[in-house]
């Protein structure tokens, strides 16, 4: 009888029973602790995600930071002997004059370039992901070629950027070769001083010949824009497909860089396959015929 009374009392009391209240209170407490822990974990993950996105955005807009972090790494240190070996190997690969071992460290620091050239070199190296050794040699060769033909070296570098993105071994389906995409079969005699048309893939020879052709095209057309149109082989066409505009846009950036202004490097221009017509019409172009 006592058991029935106790049972009836519990049933009748419902949630007001101390036993029931204690049971529900304990369960709710555990659930509340889980909710708090879950919320804390979710907030932590959200903060980590935001930090990762911020880091990616920072590296995207300032890729030089990634290079700086690499330089801070103890594994990024390179000995003078390694620098010398890399310098000589690159020179041998491209058939360039080999630097003296004593000058390797100075070359790596840009001591062989002027302040303007070093600014341009650093910017191009980051923008087009060119090794420092290669970049300094190509910039130096462009400035040397520009001096011989009385042309702005930054314009030559802008043409190289749009034509090949500084790939010395680039070749088009139409037969244009090297950094400045020179048609060696058309301009064979211009390579006589460099050992013949086979030197078209030699970076220094390609830059020097390309600079001469560009200078001739500008002289024939009477303007830089017109010269670029002839250079790309679109002299007989109504439009050059935007080629001159791309070169001039890159040229404008390089002028700002040379003047010491900060110019973003994260928007490299698309690779342009110049429209070179094999059966060209009467207007002179570097791909078709010699200028008058």
Residue boundaries of the structural domains of the chain: 2-59, 113-258
Rounded-to-integer distance, Cα 163 and Cα 247, Å: 9
pLDDT at 25 over 50: yes
pTM across the whole model: 0.60
Reduce the DSSP state of residue 270 to 3 states and report it.
coil
Instruction: Dump pLDDT digits (tens) for 209-264.
Output: 999 999 999 999 999 999 999 999 888 898 999 999 999 999 999 999 999 999 99
Which residues face 182 on adjacent strands? Answer: 177
CATH class of 113-258: mainly alpha
The mean pLDDT value of the chain amounts to 75
Rounded-to-integer distance, Cα 291 and Cα 47, Å: 64
Instruction: Dump pLDDT digits (tens) for 134-144.
Output: 899 999 999 99
Please report which confidence band the pLDDT of residue 61 belongs to, taking 50, 70 and 90 as the band edges.
low
Question: What is the chain's length?
Answer: 292
Instruction: Dump pLDDT digits (tens) for 230-242.
Output: 999 888 898 999 9
From the list 292, 289, 148, 146, the residue with the least C-alpha distance to 220 is 292
Phi, psi of 270 (to 5 degrees): -70, 150
Rounded-to-integer distance, Cα 274 and Cα 234, Å: 9
């Amino acid at each position: 009888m006592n058991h029935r009374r106790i049972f009836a009392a519990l049933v009748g009391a419902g949630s007001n029973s101390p036993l029931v209240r204690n049971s529900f209170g304990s369960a709710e407490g555990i659930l509340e602790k889980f909710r708090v822990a879950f919320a804390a974990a979710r907030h932590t993950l959200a903060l980590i995600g935001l930090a990762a996105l911020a880091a990616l955005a920072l590296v995207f807009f300032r890729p030089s930071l990634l290079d700086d972090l690499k330089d801070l790494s103890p594994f990024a240190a390179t000995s003078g002997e390694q620098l010398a070996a890399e310098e000589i190997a690159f020179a041998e690969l491209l058939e360039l004059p080999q630097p003296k071992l004593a000058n390797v460290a100075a070359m790596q620091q840009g001591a062989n370039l002027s302040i303007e050239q070093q600014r341009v070199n650093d910017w191009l190296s980051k923008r087009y992901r060119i090794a420092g050794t290669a970049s300094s040699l190509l910039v130096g060769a462009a400035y040397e070629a520009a001096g011989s033909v009385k042309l702005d070296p930054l314009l030559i570098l802008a043409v190289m950027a749009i034509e090949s993105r500084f790939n010395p071994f680039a070749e088009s389906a139409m037969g244009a070769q090297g950094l400045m995409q020179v048609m060696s079969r058309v301009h064979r005699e211009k390579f006589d001083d460099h050992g013949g048309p086979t030197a078209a893939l030699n970076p220094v020879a390609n830059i020097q010949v390309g600079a001469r052709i560009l200078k001739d095209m500008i002289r024939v057309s009477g303007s830089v824009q017109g010269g670029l149109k002839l250079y790309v082989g679109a002299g007989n066409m109504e439009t050059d497909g935007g080629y001159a505009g791309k070169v001039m846009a890159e040229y404008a950036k390089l002028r700002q860089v040379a003047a010491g202004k900060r110019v973003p490097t994260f928007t490299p221009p698309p690779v342009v396959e110049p429209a070179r017509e094999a059966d060209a019409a009467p207007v002179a172009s570097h791909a078709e015929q010699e200028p008058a």
